[in-house]
Structure 1
Amino acid sequence: MGIRENILLVSCVLLLKAYSKIIPRDELFSSPQYSAVKLSPNGQQIAFLSPDKHGIRNVYVRCVKCNHSRQITFDSKDINDIEWTALPDIILYYQDNDGDENDRIYKLNLTMASPFSKPIPISDRIGVKAFVAGNNNRDSRILVAINNDNPQFHNIYEFDLLTDKLSLLLRNDRFSETFSDNDLNIRFASEEADDGSLVYYRLSENANSKNLSTAYSDWTEYLTVLPQDRPTTEPVAFTADNKRIYWLWGEGSDLGRLVIHDFGYPGTNEILYTAEKAEIEEDESYEYLLIHPTDKTALSLYEFYHKPELHILNETVRNDFEYLTNVRPGDSPVILDYSQDFDIWLISYLCDHSPNEYYLYYRKERKAEFLFSERPQLRGRKLYRMIGFNFLARDNFPLQAYLSLPPTAELRQVSNDSDETEIAFAEMGLLPAAPQSMVLHVHGGPHYRNKFGFSSTIAWLTNRGYAVLQVNYRGSTGFGKNYANAGNGEWGRKMHYDLVDGVNFAIQYGIANASKIAIMGGSYGGYAALVGITFTPEVFACAVDSCGPSNLITFLETIPPYWMGGYRELTTWLGADKNTSQGRAFLRSRSPLFFANRVTKPLIILQGANDPRVKENESSQFVNELVKLKIPVTYVLYPDEGHGFGRPQNSLAEAGFVERFLHRCLHGRYEKFSLGQYNSSAVVLTDADNADEWQSLKTDEPSLQNSSFSSSDI
């Protein structure tokens, strides 16, 4: 072997070692150095959340010109989000109480910020949920929604940023949501009808916009959105003169359209764009549907199938997006924020190979300037690639999914005489040389979806040697109303079959080792994990449930009061109402709690004690049933968390628990973990890891057959 070959061999070995090095959990799950990044309306400052010297998430502000950052809040509890106002020295921030989602809002003057200054509370009552309902970044006032009278409905107030005066505009005992125009005048509101339709009402001619009630005399019907159209129908923005309004429109189209009509007269709809491959993307974190901040022209939008696809609506931004695309070829530029004059954009790039990296883009100079990375410690790490693909469910329903392989996995080389489908999948990079241990990671919602992009969770699992399958089962959003509505009434049935069919696909094509497949998820994904280990225990080697409902009856009985405005839609998703005996029987048949005796594989459950959406009882009643049946389970409770784990020490501990669990079940790589390692609040209430009971339970090998059960099993 020559010198050149030796050098090449050594380089390959060193590269493989670098790729295979365990990434510490600290690098993946500690608080991001930069999050909730926002550009001030004048374009001169950037606000962001970052951990302080005590690890508490506080607000920092960075000068755009001088690049100097300073801490402006010094709180002892994490801050959840921030928002600029029209006044350059005034910022708003949100906090809740240990994950209860009852957000409090505070106003802070940046010029007076110090460890000794006190913010002005806009709404700070414990147990009351508030949010900013209108902020045009132009006026010295905002609209604030507060459910301080009736927890089901939010009153609307006007808050003066100069005088700190809070004035009631609408006392609300009826509407689930209200909508204001560019001048912060309330213009219309929505109410759910008994049949699940969503009815929009506009102000009547006699209504006093500064002293509104929900009386029918103040409102007149504007339009009715039928239940089947609700997944793809929502208002977007008023035009600059407040006379016309943009909507995402589901009627007459599966994927939806962007339309505009004279406000109050939907019969004048003008179609601006019809979606072709996926729904027009809307996301609170990104300006996917870009509307000019002052002239209110629709400029661009994205459709998001496997990856985001940009569509230009107005030629004034074409050169901007062409430039930004060339800055990082192959990655998708997305706008996070912009100055009111629209000359400066805060952008990031959607990609799977690095965490969020932030840039400022100066339109006049046509120049993008790198700011910072969300997790700079991950730079240089070899991360996963996320591959989107399609497959058919057992009933031929077309499904979209993503597969992420471990960075060290060798890809399969197929011959030209192989099956055409196998060749196509191999060319996509979907097929490993050998079957992998795999985690089926189920998204929550369920009216949500997996999307292409970076995820600390997927980076962690693939780094530990697991392939990760993410199926957008029927009921997921983003792929049209037919796709979303196909999940109605299919919790624990066809929605779950889609997941099992995804597993079978992975086994069939040699992606996954049939005996080493875990199911894992949070919220609805946690429910799916419990369904997987009770309804189809032969498919999975183990399950990880985070905050998943186990009993759909008690879940419906304890939803947050402010969800009641969408109760009919929720029961449509579930397929039944708890208020009838027939409905309760149906919900019982889909609830893992009543099939706990089928658990034969390792299970870990993690839960926040203050979860407002899926109450602690959803986990504890399932655990209690398993304990009664003498079935081992590990149950970890976090007293200071809600629906998911926001505190970094708790997120790190969660990852530690799950990593150790998966290591023992699937034998992946493992960074050692102990309970007190991160100073988390976690309390282990039951621990199957210290018992030998699993050895006496059945260890059925997962099969490739369609796993189902009949009504006789219920």
Structure 2
Amino acid sequence: MTIPADTTPLIPREHLFGNPTKAGGQISPDGKWLSWLAPLDGVLNVWMAPVGDPTAGKAMTAATERPIQQYFWAPDAQSLLYIQDKGGDENFLLYGIDIVTGKERTLTDFENTRVDMIGSSETIRDKILIGLNNRDARLHDAYLLDLNSGELTLVQQNDAYAGFMADDNLELRLAVAPNAAGGMDFFPIIDGEIAEEPSDSTGLEDSLTTQPAGFTTDGSIMYWIDSRDRNTAALFAQNVETGERTLIAENDKADIGGVMGHPKTGEVQAYSFTYLTTEWTAIDPDIGASLDWLGKQLDGDFGVSSRTEDDTKWIVWNDPLTAPAQTYIYDREAQTLTDFYTGRPELVGAPLQPMQTLEIKARDGLTLPSYLTVPAGADSPVPMVLLVHGGPWARDDYGFNSYHQWLANRGYAVLSVNFRGSTGFGKDFISAADLEWGKRMHDDLIDAVKWAVDEGIAQADKVAIMGGSYGGYATLAGLTFTPDVFACGVDIVGPSNLETLLATIPPYWEPMIAQFHERMGNPNTPEGLAMLKERSPLNSAGNIVKPLLIGQGANDPRVNQAESDQIVGAMKEKGIPVTYVLYPDEGHGFANPANNIAFNAVTENFLAEWLGGRSEPIGYTVSGSTAELVEGAEHVKGLSEALRD
């Protein structure tokens, strides 16, 4: 018997959004060590243990203010590396920890600098190539970094290029530069000299779906993910000497999504496509046998996150979809799976709901791949949250989603739509969104809401729109351009003014500005500027008649705090209620779990106020975070009381 939604136990926010017990499991290239992320005094740090004794873990880092979210092994397995910024400013520096001594060093010790990874090597294992923008914030110079001595050697000063690609000898082989058409030009590099003319080029339509994907170890083959002269991006192998290209994989519905390459040779062994769900195809028979064996052992989705250099052991993640994700150590020779960890063991037995895959038709006939999760026991229309992804050049995927589970548990249907402009479905799907911010991109979302109402899933008068980044923009667009469709909205770090958004992009995004102008609108032309003004929710703020909650990081380099300040100011000036929560130590999203939990506590009580769903009390979550309530505590159930606690 299905448990009715109103008697389903509430899943605590902490269980969904607090620190995982463990995450990011890897195995060292030499197969001797396991590593993972886990809390140390409440902050995610990097841990390590011998592969034969996973319980003997010790913390290798000691971050105290901001969780470490990205780390990796040095190719020679002598050190662990991680990148970290300060307060969400996205000026990521590279740090290294010697695994024998435990000594930690800042490997890129510069101010206002963001490191980019260019390449590592199978044969030169104590060095990597990195990019640094410490000379010119717009452009990354290429440096060779000795991981053991810390010595940096300039390889290529960059005066014009968006990036570089290197081979296994850590020699630069290709420079990539934006062109006036909004695409990219690819310049061969021979003996350290960048060619004057490009060997390959893309226009705007192929700019997000065509790029080189690396070399084989011997440098004889360069792989491409390429949509030129086709719609979806296929995988090609190009003979470097002759230029001959061989098609390896294609799919008529989705772009090439992932690739497994041989750890020693770099040759492609398997590839994946993701339309509604992910499907892997093996080229190498031994890899195919391993993937087939894993598929028989594991329920739901799975993938390989780390491999030893001899390829005998893999770290495998498994998403059972309605249970917490598991991570295993897979011994390919012994054909054994050994438990490594359960990421969130507190979710074992929780009332998690299955995600459904959908295809929704937009009004012009475009098919929108989508995902739906409904509350337990829902057999009639219920309130719904339209959860809009960021980017917009990104996508929603199938699988466990903490926001879907949280909101469904609170009594809402949750719908995520890959609206036009989303990536992974071919270049035509992306191009259908060019110059359509606030127009056809928004129409897709409205069409999805109509579908959910017509299908008896959603109550027409109780639909919220919520999202971060572009999803935040979509929320503001929903409440300004279609004010009668949504009952309320939650905007997280969303731009309100496209004109000021483009004027304040991070300097290292400047090489891409032509593409932004072609896809969003060019403020340097009268027509483009007029369109950007028209599509900016700020200029229609007076149309807002439904409740709005805004969350913003003060250090956000992509969507400046001014984007939220502007629309809050406009709403106050017109006497329109708004709730605004600011985090002084966050950037483009909320990395600190205490801050994320606090904002979600405000969000679920805001939704309960205006949609009627269930909620945990706010309690001490807000006072235990860095949240600053700038405006409108009275519009959220229990928030004023929580601020007094």
**TM-score, normalisation: structure 2:** 0.95
TM superposition shift of 1:688: 5.3
Secondary structure of the corresponding residue to residue 323 of structure 1? helix
Residue 690 of structure 1: CA displacement? 4.8
Aligned runs of 1:6-405 on 2, under 5 Å?
12=1, 20-52=8-40, 54-67=41-54, 68-78=56-66, 79-113=68-102, 117=103, 119-136=104-121, 138=123, 139-204=125-190, 207=191, 209=192, 219-263=196-240, 266=243, 268-281=244-257, 288-329=258-299, 331-405=300-374
Partner of 1:658: 603
Equivalent residue letter for 1:33: T
AA at the equivalent of 2:547: P
Alpha-carbon distance, 1:553 to partner: 0.2
Give the letter aligned to residue 76 of structure 1. T
Task: Identify the match of residue 419 of structure 2 among 473, 486, 497.
Answer: 473
Change (3 A) 1:455 1:19: farther
Contact 2:493 2:551 in 1 (8 A): yes
8 Å contact from structure 1 (residues 203, 219) kept in 2? no
Shift, 1:678, TM fit? 5.8
Structure 1 residues 479-530: Cα deviation after superposition (integer angstroms, max 9, x where no partner): 1111111111110000000000000000111010001100000000000000
Q: What's the offset of the Cα at 1:315?
A: 1.7
Aligned to 2:631, which of 639, 661, 686?
Answer: 686
C-alpha distance 296-34 of structure 1, shift in aligned 2 (>3 A): same
Render the CA deviation track for 1:453-504: whole Å, top value 9, x for unaligned: 1111111111111100111101111111111111111100000000000000
- Give yes or no for contact 1:278–1:479 (8 Å, CA) kept in 2: yes
**Contact 1:85/1:137 (<8 A) preserved:** no
Which stretch has the larger CA shift, 312-321 or 560-569? 312-321
1:16 Cα offset (Å): 5.9
The verdict on how the C-alpha distance between 1:690 and 1:661 changes in structure 2, with shifts beyond 3 A counting, is closer
Per-residue Cα deviation, 1:105-159 (whole angstroms, up to 9, x for no partner): 111112222xxx5x22111323111133222254211112110011111111111
Query: What is the letter of the counterpart of residue 292 of structure 1?
Result: H
Secondary structure of 1:652's match? helix
Q: Once the two structures are superposed, what CA deviation does each residue of 1:18-64 show, in whole Å capped at 9, x if it has no partner? A: 97100111111111222232221012212222111x21121111221
Query: Is the 1:649–1:678 Cα contact (8 Å) retained in structure 2?
Result: no
Higher radius of gyration, 1 or 2: 1
Distance, in Å, in 1 between the alignment partners of 2:636 and 2:606 is 13
CA distance in 2, matches of 1:200, 1:264: 17
Q: Structure 1 stretch 243-252 or stretch 597-606: which is displaced more?
A: 243-252
Provide closer, same or farther for how the CA distance between residues 241 and 676 of structure 1 changes in structure 2, counting only shifts above 3 A: closer
Cα distance in 1 for residues equivalent to 2:241 and 2:511:
22
User: Partners of 2:389 and 2:249 in 1: how far apart?
Assistant: 29
- Look up the match of 2:640: none
Residue 679 and residue 124 in structure 1: after superposition, are their counterparts in 2 closer, same or farther (change >3 A)? farther
Cα RMSD after superposing both structures: 1.8
In 2 relative to 1, CA 294–472 (structure 1 residues): closer, same or farther, beyond 3 Å? same
Aligned match of 1:7: none
Q: Say if 1:254 and 1:480, in contact at 8 Å, map to a contact too.
A: yes
SS of the residue corresponding to residue 231 of structure 1 reads: coil
Q: Does 1:462 align with 2:451?
A: no
Rounded Cα–Cα distance in structure 1 between residues aligned with 2:528 and 2:365: 29
Residue 501 of structure 2: SS of its match in structure 1?
A: helix
Q: 1:358 to 1:488 in 2, by over 3 A?
A: same
TM-fit CA distance, 1:219: 5.0
Task: Provide the C-alpha distance between the structure 2 equivalents of 1:510 and 1:332, rounded to a whole number of angstroms.
Answer: 29
SS at match of 1:568: helix
- Give 1:178 shift: 0.6
- What amino acid sits opposite 2:383 in the alignment? S
Going from structure 1 to structure 2, the CA distance change for 1:222 and 1:197 (only over 3 Å counts) comes to same
The whole-number CA distance in structure 2 between the counterparts of 1:264 and 1:156 is: 25
Secondary structure in 2 aligned to 1:369?
strand
Gaps of 5+ in 1: 1-11, 282-287, 410-432, 693-714
**What SS class does the counterpart of residue 221 from structure 1 fall into?**
coil
In 2, the alpha carbon distance for the partners of 1:228 and 1:478 equals: 14
Letter in 2 for 1:647: N
Q: Which amino acid aligns with 1:120?
A: R
Report the TM-score when normalising by structure 1. Answer: 0.86
Three-state SS of the structure 1 residue aligned to 2:443 is: helix
Residue pair 2:162, 2:178 contacting (<8 A) in 1 also: yes
One-letter amino acid of the structure 2 residue matched with residue 252 of structure 1 = D
Is contact 2:552-2:581 (8 Å) kept?
yes
Structure 2: gaps (5+ residues) = 638-645
CA distance in 1, matches of 2:578, 2:149: 56
Contact 2:301–2:321 (Cα < 8 Å) also in 1: no
State whether structure 2 residue 549 is matched by structure 1 residue 579. no
**8 Å CA contact 2:165, 2:214 repeated in 1:** no
Contact residue 650 and residue 678 of structure 1 kept, 8 A: no
Task: Output the amino acid matched with 1:664.
Answer: E
Determine if contact 2:167/2:217 at 8 Å carries over to the other structure: no
- The one-letter code of the counterpart of 1:378 is L
* Matched residues, number: 634
Q: How is 1:624-663 mapped onto 2 (pairs within 5 angstroms)?
A: 624-663=569-608
Cα displacement (A) at 1:353:
1.5
Deviations 1:359-387 (A, max 9, x none): 11111112222211111111111212111
Q: Percent identity?
A: 35
Mean alpha-carbon deviation: is it higher for 667-676 or for 21-30?
667-676
